[in-house]
Amino acid sequence: MSSPQQYIAHMDLDSFFVSVEVLNDPSLKGKAIIVGGSRERGVVSTCSYEARKFGVHSGMSMRKALQLCPHAILAHGAMGQYSKYSRWVTEIIAAKAPLFEKASVDEFYIDLTGMDKYFDPFKWTIELRNEIIETTKLPISFGLATNKFVAKIATDEAKPNGYLFVQPGMEQDFLAPLPVNKIPGVGKTSYPVLQKLGIHLIGDLLNFTPAFLEEKLGKWGPELYQKAQGIHHGKVHSFHEAKSISTENTFDANKTDLDFLLSELVRMTEKIAFELRNEEKMAGCIAVKIRYPDFETTSRQVTIDYTFRDDELIPVAIDLFHKLYRKNMPVRLLGVRLSELNNHPLQANLFDDGVKKTNLYKAIDNVKTSFGKYAVQKARTVKKPKP
């Protein structure tokens, strides 16, 4: 009995952050927009297609981007809006798709293998895309193919706000005329090497043997050869959003010292942020819980932009604490919870020197892993709110 034909759809929200900014401020439509950090030290997170025409791209320094496109409008992102829209799209897909993977806040894979017995996979994916656009007003593109790799490249070719179906058996013909750096992973290091070998297009890879490519590129060489044939065996991993990561402390004696309580809150937030990064997750919601001696328990939560960084989580936790805390009341228990967890932490916002921050957190986490969670802690002076 033959295996069912595999169909994988890849869906990607176009210039996601920019699209959300335009929804919140329609006057930005059609303008050059850059979403990122400060003019001096920030990094471009994403930009509109109008800005891309001037050479602006993700990961570029804001200073360079503004040199290329000085008339661009800068947007720094509304707290929680990106998370909100990402969840909205996820819910629509989850309600329809038999099996899907959330690859990032704006990117999804859907496995439709075997479903062609019951419906046309291409028509089904078009209808799902239409529902997302009509419901959220966000532009979204998709590629449909026999594997994840070809589907993702098909999406890139379909952008902006389009779709493309690579029919079974046409993978190699579709890939051959595309630049070789369209293959994910072919970047600043490997692309010049391939060009020196005379490999400019994906199809050029097939002019060489896997053994020759391995000699020049290591194990990456034969993998590139396979990809040039349109062969890829990556699976769609079913999306199961982790419920939460939390910690709480029931004190031996009730605490009234505000400085102590805030210091403990910061310590606990650092602890669960460390656990979050170890699990390679980002959080889209944070909550603080306070229990008083009479066992009255109050909690409050807020939606935030997806993050894994202490310096973005701690101020929100402190703000929630102040909104909850009954002045001068002793506290029996204090807790912090991160929820709405999502994969791919490195795709968190690249605002305000975010790449350097991420590398710093990696270094700190390596120390904590080797010497204990509390081997490195922030020096802190906690400010009390004004009376």
Backbone angles phi, psi at 122, to 5 degrees: -65, -50
In the predicted structure, residue 364 carries a pLDDT above the cut 80: no
> Which residues on neighbouring strands pair with residue 291, listed in sequence order?
297, 333
In the predicted structure, residue 379 carries a pLDDT above the cut 70: no
> Which of the 8 DSSP states describes residue 179?
B
Q: How many CB atoms lie within 10 A of CB 259?
A: 11
Check: CB of residue 34 under 8 Å from CB of residue 75. yes
User: Domain segments of the chain: what residues?
Assistant: 1-167, 169-233, 244-371
In the predicted structure, residue 71 carries a pLDDT above the cut 50: yes
In the predicted structure, residue 368 carries a pLDDT above the cut 80: no
CA 208/CA 36 separation, integer angstroms: 42
Query: Where is pLDDT greater, at 3 or 347?
Result: 3
- Helix H or strand E encompassing 244: strand 244-255
> Which residues on neighbouring strands pair with residue 339, listed in sequence order?
244, 285
For residues 264-276, average pLDDT: 94
Q: What is the pLDDT of residues 178-217, one digit of tens each?
A: 999 999 889 888 899 999 999 999 999 999 999 999 998 8
Q: What's the gap between Cα 67 and its chain centre? A: 27
Q: Of 335, 339, 245, whose CA–CA distance to 284 is shortest?
A: 339
Work out the percent of the chain whose per-residue pLDDT is above 70: 86
pTM: 0.71
Backbone angles phi, psi at 140, to 5 degrees: -145, 140
Q: Tell me, what's the pLDDT at 242?
A: 61
Q: Of 154, 120, 106, whose CA–CA distance to 9 is shortest?
A: 154
Q: Buried b / exposed e across 343-371, counting CB within 10 Å, b at 16+? A: bebebbbbbbbbeebbeebeebbeebeee
Question: Which SS3 state, helix, strand or coil, does residue 233 take?
Answer: coil
Name the one residue in this structure whose structure tokens are 């199961």.
Answer: 240
Q: Tell me, what's the pLDDT at 165?
A: 98
- For 169-233, the fitting CATH number among 3.30.1490.100, 2.60.40.3500, 1.10.150.20, 3.30.2350.10 is 1.10.150.20
Q: Tell me, what's the pLDDT at 369?
A: 55
CATH architecture of 244-371: 2-Layer Sandwich (3.30)
Write the DSSP assignment of 288-334 as a string of letters.
EEEE-TT--EEEEEEEEEEE--HHHHHHHHHHHHHHH--TT--EEEE
Q: Quick one: how many helices (H) and strands (E) in the chain? A: 13, 12
Q: Tell me, what's the pLDDT at 378?
A: 57
Query: Where is pLDDT greater, at 140 or 60?
Result: 140
Query: Where is pLDDT greater, at 240 or 383?
Result: 240
Q: On the CB side of 272, how many CA atoms lie within 13 Å of its CA?
A: 27
CA-to-CA dists, residue 258 to 255, 310, 326, 383, angstroms:
8, 21, 11, 10
List the CATH code of the domain at 1-167. Answer: 3.30.70.270
Q: Tell me, what's the pLDDT at 358?
A: 55
- Helix H or strand E encompassing 339: strand 331-343
Task: Please identify which of the residues 107, 171, 312, 340 carries the catalytic annotation.
Answer: 107
Binning pLDDT at 50, 70 and 90, where does residue 58 land?
A: confident
Residues 6+ apart with CB under 8 A from 54: 32, 68, 69, 72
Check: CB of residue 373 under 8 Å from CB of residue 277. no
Q: Is 157 a catalytic residue?
A: no
